[in-house]
Amino acid sequence: MTSSAEKVPRLLPRERLGAWLARLDGHRIYVPRCENDVWSYGLWDGEAQVALDYPMTVVPAKAMVLRQTEPLFAFRQTDNGGYRLEELRPEDQPVVVFGVRPCEGRAMALLDAVMVRPPAESHYLSRRRTTALVGLACLAPPSPNCFCLSVGGSPHSEDGLDILLTDLGDGFYVKPLTELGQALVAAGESEMEEVGPADEARVAERQAAAVSAIPRQLADLEDIDRRLGEAFEAQLWADESMRCVGCGICTYLCPTCHCFDINDEVLGTAPLTGIRMRTWDTCQFADFTMHSSGHNPRPHKAARLRQRINHKFRYGVEAGMGILCTGCGRCITQCPMEIDLIHILQEVRDRFG
């Protein structure tokens, strides 16, 4: 393993950012990009200026590793009535995702705890091993609903990232965090400079200012799992779910949600051929828990909203993984009915303290 002494921070002049990325030969590089007024991650063409002043992307970085739609294997009926299966593996070209917010790095670490622990999900693991996450510390909140501090994060969290960049105005403080990150820094060594004491001081100053700028806070979450347990049968869930339209945006855009469905797409009938596909699913859909018998243990919106909140703030804690929310605020910002996760948790905290 690379020793910590070798992971030396460097200073990247602002005008050399594109030159550094261009030196990452063999990598597909994705950067924040806005299309049709929606911020997401798009393939860098090697020439366009990389956006640095961008809000929270609508689509989280998890989509680069846990694809929204993923073919698992192809099947074909044989002459003797059996089936021949062909596993469809992810492409193995290395990927760099640039500009990942620290809350999304933490989200990827939480996804790892679910998807990589034995038995590891092979498609996710394959992409995770070949995907480098280059984070950009938040100097200003990228969303009016950021609350990362309340769930153990920070605007400069290093969890789940391979590199963390801090914008110093005239350049970037580049901190490699993993062997993969160190290799990317080494590839652009000629574009970088040594870090001095003044640079370290500027980093500390900017990061401290960013912490004080987080717009929303949710105090006293230490025993939120217990309080949620006491609130399980509360009228609160019916009241808060009245506005919900069941669109699933809150979970589809959540960087830690990982529920999926599996379906067979038939391509031909003589012989029978097709592809087994995995797609994102959501606990907010009415048929998510529908049994083949017709029974649905979560038939109402109230039960489904309760499930989402409990999954993030109770069941994850009880399973030893901690709170499964990184405070990105997407579920609040993007909800068409303005259902507010922070408000719901405050109600639980205040009523069941």
Average per-residue pLDDT in the chain? 94
Q: Is 298 within a domain?
A: yes
- Looking at the domain assignment, is residue 310 inside a domain? yes
The reply to whether 167 and 202 lie within a common domain is yes
- Span 138-159, pLDDT tens digits: 999 999 999 999 999 999 999 9
Q: How far is CA 108 from CA 22, 54, 198, 225, 301, in A?
A: 25, 20, 32, 22, 28
| Residue of 176, 164, 171, 163 whose CA lies nearest to 193 | 171
Same-domain status, 115 and 62: yes
Q: For the segment 183-201, what is each residue's pLDDT rounded down to a tens digit?
A: 999 999 999 999 999 999 9
Same domain, 290 and 143: no
Angstrom CA distances, 328 to 18, 121, 135, 277, 342, stand at 27, 25, 14, 29, 12
∠ CA(28), CA(33), CA(38), 5° rounding? Answer: 135
pLDDT at res. 81: 84
Q: Are residues 287 and 186 in the same domain?
A: no
Residue 92: per-residue pLDDT: 84
DSSP state of 89: P
Give the integer Cα–Cα distance in Å for 324 and 12: 34
| Band of residue 5 on the pLDDT scale cut at 50, 70, 90 | very low
Residue 150 within any structural domain of the chain: yes
Residues 313 and 189 in one domain: no
Q: How many structural domains is the chain composed of?
A: 2
Could you tell me if residue 245 is inside a domain? yes
Shared domain for 31 and 176, answered yes or no, is yes
Do 233 and 176 belong to one domain? no
Residues 314, 247 share a domain = yes
pLDDT of residue 243: 95
Residue 274 falls within a domain, yes or no?
Answer: no
Pairing of strands 38-43, 272-280: unpaired
For residue 307, give its domain range: 224-261+281-351
DSSP helix/strand/coil, 99:
strand
Same domain for 128 and 44, yes or no, is: yes
Residue ending a domain, among 180, 212, 244, is: 212
3-class DSSP assignment, residue 12: strand
Which structure tokens are listed for 255? 């960087």
Does the pLDDT value for residue 207 go beyond 70? yes
C-alpha closest to that of 315 among 283, 339, 347, 346? 283
Q: What DSSP element (H or E) covers 51?
A: none
* Residues 321 and 180 grouped into a single domain: no
* Whole-Å CA distances, 154 to 151, 158, 221, 257, 301: 9, 9, 16, 20, 32
pLDDT at 7 over 90: no
Q: What is the mean pLDDT of residues 14-43?
A: 95
pLDDT for the residue numbered 91? 87
Round the CA-based radius of gyration of the chain to a whole number and report it.
22
- For residue 184, which of 264, 287, 98 has the smallest C-alpha distance? 98
Q: What is the pLDDT averaged over residues 73-83?
A: 93
Residue 266 within a domain: no
Mean pLDDT to the nearest integer, 5-22: 92
Does position 340 have pLDDT exceeding 50, yes or no?
yes
Q: Are residues 187 and 326 in the same domain?
A: no
| pLDDT of amino acid 3 | 41
Residues of the chain with pLDDT > 70: what percent?
99
pLDDT given at position 2: 38
* pLDDT tens, residue by residue, 31-64: 999 999 999 999 999 988 999 999 999 999 999 9
What are 126's two structure tokens? 């394959």
Is residue 268 in some structural domain? Answer: no
Q: Is residue 307 part of a domain?
A: yes
Same domain, 157 and 257: no
Q: How far apart are the first and last CA of the chain?
A: 47
